[in-house]
Amino acid sequence: MTKYLKIGVSGPYVNTSQTTFVKLDDDDIGDDGKCKQKYADEMVGDAIANYIDSWSETVDEADVPEEDRW
């Protein structure tokens, strides 16, 4: 049976979430029937990076309130 890694990511805003399903090859699955941790970490990192790209932007310093700068 084909298996998928289900990755859920949610953001800082109300109703902002994304679920991604990554098809797994047989060599991505460990003896316990779960996705191997190394591959899962890589796929989760990619899903988070893609999600962040969808709601982040680079702005000029003048557009950032002084109290919000770190």
Cβ atoms 31, 70 nearer than 8 A: no
pLDDT tens-digit profile, the chain (70 residues): 889 999 998 877 777 788 899 999 999 999 999 999 999 999 999 988 888 777 778 889 999 999 988 8
Residue whose pair of structure tokens reads 């709601």 in the numeric block: 55
User: What pLDDT, on the 0 to 100 scale, is given for residue 53?
Assistant: 76
45/60 Cα distance (integer angstroms): 27
User: What pLDDT, on the 0 to 100 scale, is given for residue 35?
Assistant: 95
DSSP per-residue string spanning 12-61: SSTT-EEEEEEEEPGGGB-TTSSB-HHHHHHHHHHHHHHHHHHH-----G
